[in-house]
Copies of this chain bind each other. A is one copy, B any other.
Amino acid sequence: MDRLSLNQITTNGWSLPEAVAGCAQAGVGWISLWRDKVAEVGVTAAADMVRRNGLQVSSLCRGGFLTGVAPDGSDVDGIADTAVAIEEAARLGAEVLVLVVGGIAGNDLAGSRQRVADGVGELVPLAARHGVRLGLEPLHPIQCAERSVLSTLDQALDIAEQHPAETVGVIVDEFHVWWDPRVEQAITRAAGRIAGFHVCDQLVPLPDPLLGRGLPGQGPIEHRRLRACVEAAGYRGPIEVEVFNAELWRRPGAEVLAEVISSYAEHVA
């Protein structure tokens, strides 16, 4: 249980002070912070709250959008925004800054993917200077158009391997990679590069491509099999429970956190 981390999106109804206090009270030692929640209190105050409550920050979500397109299709300067996020991650003492790289720009998939590789290369010196590790997170192929042209672990590794492992790693998120016929080989290949392991489940039938996720045990994902792969590849860090689910978000945070803990104990630990 000492590896369990609450990804703050799972208790999206909670503010940062509520989530930090909730974790401390429930005995959860790790938390993954989201930048919009951090911004509500300010980076310095957030870092202070986390420290005073004895928590560690498994990751900061999120930088990226290096293709220059936001999920709603509007233009965004992902490089500049991620540079800011790198400094925030350093000040928060986050182990990793998660990168969601952005969707397709100008209906040019190959070009969009090249922009991601180039953008990561541009950001590496700044991340290294701040001692922040970038975590490239491949998202499920269903989000290729809108959120992430990085669709598989192999593809994320092709980019990460061009840089030092302590500065660029990959995030293994079960929802995004469980279906991949190459997932076991890719995780093996990722040895030394795994910058995070996120667990949740896929709801069946799937109500929504973005929010159709549940707590571990509510769907077909084989959590212990994937955890074994990740550990065989040497990863011993925090395990985030990260669930995008609108119904969960409407419920009281403490109730959700209690279910996070029990589902993690039953299906993952």
Contacts and interface: CB of A to CB of B under 8 A. Distances in A.
A165 B123 CA distance: 48
A113 interface: yes
A109 interface: yes
Interface stretch (A6-14, A93-101, A146-154): A146-154
Given A104-B220, A109-B222, A220-B107, A145 B180 contact: no
Interface string A90-120: 0000000000000110011100010000000
Nearest to A149: B179
Where chain A touches its partner, the secondary structure class is: loop
A180 B151 contact: yes
Given A109-B222, A220-B104, A222-B107, A204 B146 contact: yes
A202 interface: yes
B146 A205 contact: yes
Interface stretch (A15-23, A136-144, A252-260): A136-144
Point out which of A107, A152, A179, A205 has the most chain B C-beta atoms below 10 A from its C-beta: A179
A181 B113 contact: yes
A209 interface: yes
A124 to B, nearest CB: 21
Interface in A155-207: 155, 178-181, 202, 204-206
Contact of A209 (B108, B152, B154, B206): B206
Q: In this complex, which of A103, A141, A155, A206 has the most chain B Cβ atoms within 10 angstroms of its Cβ?
A: A141
Interface in A198-228: 202, 204-206, 209, 219-222
B206 A146 contact: yes
Contacts of A73: 204
Contact of A145 (B154, B181, B219): B219
A141 B222 contact: no
Contacts of A221: 107
Given A220-B109, A220-B145, A222-B109, A181 B206 contact: no
9 contacts: A73-B204, A107-B221, A109-B179, A140-B142, A141-B180, A142-B209, A144-B178, A144-B179, A206-B209
Interface of A: 73, 103-104, 107-109, 113, 140-142, 144-146, 151-152, 154-155, 178-181, 202, 204-206, 209, 219-222
Q: Give 8 closest A-B pairs by Cβ, nearest first.
A: A144-B179, A141-B179, A142-B142, A155-B181, A107-B220, A145-B204, A209-B209, A104-B220
